[in-house]
């Protein structure tokens, strides 16, 4: 695929959604939002993490494996005509069935008239109260990915990946100039006193990825309160309040736009790709990296 052109403006659309229990309802809503964004000239559209349903990892419940599907599969097929019609790139976060008993949290990419071009499997899998993802997801094995899409070189990471500077760095070193993070993050009712601190940390770490790598960062969250279903017994809390506030950070760390904390919306943002070259000239972090001195990063802890 030819390299994406530099020094141009790319319009990205962040689709901030609240999720219904029924996958078909979420699919129709997501298709409608994506069409609205495409009609407004979006070059790249990103949906939240696992947008086809509620965030089901609040408990360890085997029935949720029925939510899986192959990639490519029915959802990529549903979005492919829209991608081709508007020649837009779509970032779809799905629960992938790779084989019986082998499942991943996966992003599928549709690149306009090129159709499906590849997938990224979530590398970092959390296991915390109400975020029991290790029960559902096998750690990714695609490595960190960058794609020269028709509009720009982009990388996709997923939610918990957003806390790891190594993931952002390796994706950027593969050529990605825009890092997309489909996300499902919020707070438990028992954590409300820490809510602002948690949100600030979430936004700060991603802004730091933009600065450290001289690239754009696009974080797309869901919104709304999701209770644990009545037939699943919560351990410490009744649900998660997803804080929305999807945002875009520029290569200098500035927040270019931020969505609301409690509303569904499409956040449209124009990214001037020449900002990347300018930022990397003034802050040449790639130039000054001591690649001869980082061998310890491939170890769990250096005092072992």
Q: Which residues participate in catalysis according to the annotation?
A: 49, 122, 159
What is the rounded CA–CA span in Å between residue 270 and residue 277? 17
Listed in sequence order, the residues at least 6 apart from 91 whose beta carbon sits closer than 8 Å to its beta carbon are: 44, 45, 46, 47, 107, 109, 156, 180, 182
Is omega for the bond preceding 72 within 30 degrees of 0, making it cis? yes
The answer to whether the beta carbons of residues 182 and 93 sit under 8 Å apart is: yes
Q: Which run of H or of E encompasses 267?
A: strand 265-272
Residue 14: CB atoms within 10 A of its CB come to 28
* Burial class of residue 210 (count of CB atoms within 10 Å of its CB; 0-12, 13-18, 19+): buried
């Amino acid at each position: 695929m030819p390299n994406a052109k530099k020094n141009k403006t790319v319009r990205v659309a962040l689709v901030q959604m609240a999720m219904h229990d029924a996958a078909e309802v979420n699919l129709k809503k997501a298709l409608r939002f994506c069409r609205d964004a495409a009609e407004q000239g979006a070059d790249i559209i990103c949906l939240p993490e696992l947008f086809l349903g509620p965030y089901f990892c609040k408990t360890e419940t085997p029935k949720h494996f029925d939510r899986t599907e192959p990639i490519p599969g029915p959802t990529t097929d549903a979005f492919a005509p829209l991608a081709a019609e508007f020649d837009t790139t779509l970032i779809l976060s799905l629960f992938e069935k790779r084989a019986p008993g082998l499942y991943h949290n996966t992003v599928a990419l549709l690149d306009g008239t090129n159709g499906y071009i590849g997938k990224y499997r979530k590398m970092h899998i959390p296991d915390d109260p109400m975020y029991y993802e290790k029960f559902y997801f096998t750690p990714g094995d695609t490595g960190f990915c960058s794609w020269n899409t028709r509009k720009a070189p982009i990388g996709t990471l997923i939610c918990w990946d957003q806390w790891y500077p190594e993931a952002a760095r390796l994706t950027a070193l593969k050529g990605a100039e825009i890092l997309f993070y489909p996300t499902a993050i919020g707070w438990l009712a028992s954590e409300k006193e820490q809510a602002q601190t948690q949100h600030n940390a979430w936004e700060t770490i991603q802004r730091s990825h933009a600065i450290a790598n001289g690239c754009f960062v696009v974080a797309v969250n869901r919104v709304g309160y999701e209770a644990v279903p009545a037939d699943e017994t919560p351990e410490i809390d009744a649900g998660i309040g997803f804080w929305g506030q999807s945002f875009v950070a520029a290569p200098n760390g500035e927040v270019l736009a931020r969505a609301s904390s409690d509303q569904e919306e499409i956040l449209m943002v124009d990214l001037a790709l020449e900002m990347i070259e300018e930022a990397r000239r003034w802050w040449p972090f790639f130039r000054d990296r001591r690649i001869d001195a980082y061998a310890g990063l491939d170890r769990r802890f250096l005092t072992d």
